Amino acid sequence: MALSRCFLRRQRRGRARKSKNIFSFTSFKDSLGEKEIDESRRNEDLPYFDLSTIAAATNNFSSDNKLGQGGFGPGFGPVYKGVLLNGKEIVVKRLSNSSSQGLQEFKNEIVLIAKLQHRNLVRILGCCVEGEEKMLIYEFLPNKSLDFIIFDDSKRSLLDWKKHLEIICGIARGILYLHHDSWLRVIHRDLKASNVLLDDAMNLKISDFGMARIFGGDQMEGDT
């Protein structure tokens, strides 16, 4: 009997620990107008990071780790580079508490990017929601954005004509996936060179879905 009680207590503690590492989409009320989303898929989970983990990864949000300010949309504040304990490099996108638009953009990115998987879309690794802090965690892409390359004379030479064509085709593949091939049909609404990121092999990934909208069939859902 004592052994069975001990086993049950361990099971409960294990479930509690697991629940802390998962962020549920249902914690946000629907405000995107996505009537076409299947309820069972809307309840998918996103990995959750503790604030202490992100603070450690960014050296307590050090200015030395800061990549920029509001570069992912008007609703977001500083953006940081971080390194997790396992050595994985990440980007931390921190919500601006002073922006009324920020929460909506945060919801958009959680609902959309976490459910879209394509080699030409940036990959979200998880989120952190703790107190007033709301942050999104992404894969780190070392070659920054396309505008950083094409508007810098010293870096423009990295893109030969073959790479130009690959980038154009990659953008087209990503947009085709969003508009036609994904079960969530999405219009980005803010596609520009600064939202096209490049990995270490100069492969592109479309980012920043804060202004995106979902549509189904020929009927648009939300503003265009």
Catalytic residues: 190
Q: Is 202 left (phi over 0), alpha (psi -120 to 50) or beta?
A: left
Q: Which of 115, 113, 137 is nearest to 205 (CA)?
A: 113
Tokens found for residue 63 = 């200015």
Tokens found for residue 33 = 């107008």
136, 110 contact by CB (below 8 A): yes
Q: Give the integer Cα–Cα distance in Å for 196 and 224.
A: 21
Q: Give the integer Cα–Cα distance in Å for 72 and 93.
A: 8
DSSP per-residue codes, 109-147: HHHHHTT---TTBPPEEEEEEETTEEEEEEE--TT-BHH
Q: Give the integer Cα–Cα distance in Å for 47 and 69.
A: 25
Q: Give the integer Cα–Cα distance in Å for 34 and 39.
A: 10
How far does the chain reach from its first CA to its final CA, in angstroms? 63
